[in-house]
A and B are shown apart, each in its own frame.
Chain A
Amino acid sequence: MKERPHNPLPGLGLTLGFTVCYLSVVVLLPVAALVLKSLDLSWGEFCDLAFNKRALAAYRLTFGASLAAALANALFGTLLAWVLVRYRFPGRRFIDALVDFPFALPTAVAGLTLGNLFSENGWLGQFLVPWGIQGAFTPLGVVIALTFVGLPFSVRTLQPVLQAFDRGVEEAAATLGAGRLRTFLTIIAPTLLPTILTGFALAFARAIGEYGSIVFISGNLPFETEIAPYLIVMRLEQYDYAGAMALAIVLMAVSFLLLITINWLERWSGHFERA
């Protein structure tokens, strides 16, 4: 942070006052409601509600599918970022602009169209389903939707770092006799790794809370294709506020841990960028 010993600019009181008030009303008050309400739960009750069999199955799918989707994005997102930054080919700028499409598209529409694409009569499903690849109403469908949703995070995190990458280092390695594969494995990949991990963590964090796209592509069957956010909605519809709250606390705790990890990863990759 820059040093600002004497700041002649006006308006700190007004803008900071408004910021803090608005923040408190819109964000902090609802969060405080959860904290206060959760005090009514005893530890035993909380564990029963948050870690019963149905909840555990929902976590397994949520975290498992999020992990698979984040991995797919780490792999293909890195490939896409690499191709978009390093190569010139027709349609490059169009695809580059389209990378943000999953971010701009409402999640309900994403789930709707992906579910249709991979269904038996869909454009992709008609080829995949005969091979036994069921993309709609299965755990695989959840992974597909989460991959779609997380795609911009991994590509857009990596792109600026790849653009700023000092190609002189690659030339030096080549001059010293390293082949292209060796240069990639020993020079490029290790430098990009912290950024790829940051993108992975961002995509993973985004996937855990995802609801809109999953509802349409997953069958939402308890123990099979039910994700944790969907179970929260189910509990709410049964007016089981304690049950919904317990699940929400677990999800928020995981998100918070991820936020700390991402913060740490960004500092690590920032360190690499500067070095």
Chain B
Amino acid sequence: MTGPPQHDDRRAASTRGTQEHPVIRWLLIGAAMLFAAVFLLLPLANVFWQAFSAGLASYWGTLADPDTRAAIRLTLLVAVITVPLNTAFGIAAAWALARFDFRGRTLILTFIDLPFSVSPVVTGLLLVLLFGAQGLVGPWLQAHDVRIIFAVPGMVLATLFVTFPFVARELIPDMQAQGSEQEQAALTLGASPWQTFWHVTLPSVKWGLLYGVILCNARAMGEFGAVSVVSGHIVGLTETLPLRVEKLYQELNPSAPFAVASLLALLALLTLLLKTFLEWKNRRGLERALTPAEPAQSVGLGSTGLLTAGERPSP
């Protein structure tokens, strides 16, 4: 009735072409949210529900148990040793691999990715084959009374292996995206290499670095398979929190494993929170630093997908 019918037709055609019908749109959203509810929301809510199902007193009782507290201490100890070591490695590797081009660079990148493609259980087996009683250096270690397998050093080594790539994988693409012009300028102006590193390089990649450290820490505290193989499961001595969860589960206690698991779920939530915040910070930093002509490129095999996906700024 109002306006030329042709105009209406064109408008209808253009939305039909680039947008789904509202009914289809809401059906798709509904299906996706159902999937997210079953696989993301319910598992998360269930941990806390089950943890408190036997009441607060039972919850605190489980957490105050000396064996649980020993597990908390060991989990923290393992993380305190492994995260700084892998962070130092990540920074060194990022400097060497993002700032220089040399023969064998791709090979090193491939090796850095290797732990991501090895099953945690196989990681444990590798250490047993190296340090175990029948391992390559096992007899020598026994002769010198050094225990690695079924002891804390083995668990530290297993965690080091499993969390090895996290910081390096995060920093290398970030540092490549930043480029080295500012560092070269600082050096030209008379800054020492350390000054350049502390005042130019580190501030420009600090969010990416923190992001890698947080992911590394989450995995270090939560690792199960690799640590399980080399731990020997000695209650109070070689039990980390995830191993404590398994132990309580095997004792057929209905709520106690969930009480311990709730600590690890909290860690996961905290990790997600920090990760979301850092991703936002990092994207802003990258957007400011990047010229549109030079988008950040992911390097190496990118076998982690997840780790690099969030970092690829869309052109």
Known interface pairs A209-B118, A245-B125; 19 further A-B residue pairs with C-beta atoms within 8 A, sorted by A's residue number: A23-B108, A26-B160, A27-B161, A33-B130, A34-B129, A99-B36, A104-B272, A105-B264, A109-B242, A114-B43, A148-B43, A160-B314, A180-B21, A211-B120, A211-B225, A255-B117, A258-B117, A263-B301, A266-B302
Q: Residues of B contacting A159 with CB < 8 Å? A: 309
Residue contacts A-B, CB under 8 angstroms, 28 given: A7-B100, A9-B180, A9-B183, A11-B96, A12-B102, A14-B92, A20-B108, A26-B164, A80-B32, A104-B269, A105-B222, A105-B264, A109-B268, A113-B43, A113-B44, A153-B305, A156-B306, A157-B309, A174-B18, A198-B305, A202-B306, A216-B249, A232-B122, A236-B229, A241-B128, A248-B122, A251-B122, A255-B119
Contact with A along B117-143 (1 / 0, CB 8 A): 111111111111110101110000000
A270 to chain B, nearest CB (A): 9
B292 to chain A, nearest CB (A): 13
Check B127 against A30 for contact (C-beta < 8 Å): yes
Chain B interface residue bracket vs A:
35 or more
B211 to chain A: closest CB distance in Å?
Answer: 12
Which of B1-9, B23-31, B54-62, B202-210 makes up part of the contact surface?
B23-31
Q: Which of A82, A98, A233 contacts B28 (CB 8 A)?
A: A82
Residues of A within 8 A of B88 (CB): 18
CB of B100 within 8 A of CB of A229, answer no
Interface centre among A89, A116, A183 (most CB of B within 10 A): A116
Q: Is residue A147 within 8 Å, beta carbon to beta carbon, of the partner chain? A: yes
Q: Which residue of chain A lies nearest to B113 when distances are taken between CB atoms in the complex?
A: A259
Is the Cβ of A108 less than 8 Å from the Cβ of B265? no
Q: Does B38 contact A (CB under 8 A)?
A: yes
Q: A97-B272, A180-B17 are in contact. Are A229 and B119 (CB under 8 A)?
A: yes
Taking a contact as CB atoms under 8 Å apart, the answer to whether B187 and A241 are in contact is: no
By secondary structure, the B interface counts as helix
Residue of B nearest to A159 (CB): B309
Contact A12 B157 (CB under 8 A): no
Near A by CB (< 8 A), chain B positions 213-255 give 215, 218, 221-225, 228-229, 241-243, 245-246, 249
Interface size of A as a range:
35 or more
Q: Does B190 contact A (CB under 8 A)?
A: no
Contact pick for B29, options A12, A87, A160, A244, CB 8 Å = A87
Instruction: Report B-chain residues with C-beta under 8 Å of the C-beta of A28.
Output: 111
With A80-B35, A124-B38, A232-B125 in contact, is A108–B14 under 8 Å at CB? Answer: no
CA distance A259 to B109 in the complex (A): 13
Q: How far is the CA of A16 from the CA of B91 in the complex (A)?
A: 11
Q: A15-B92, A156-B306 are in contact. Are A33 and B121 (CB under 8 A)?
A: no
* Complexed CA–CA distance, A116 and B92 (Å): 44
A33: min CB distance to chain B, Å = 4
Name the distance in Å between A15's Cβ and chain B's nearest Cβ. Answer: 4
In contact, B33 and A31 (Cβ under 8 angstroms): no
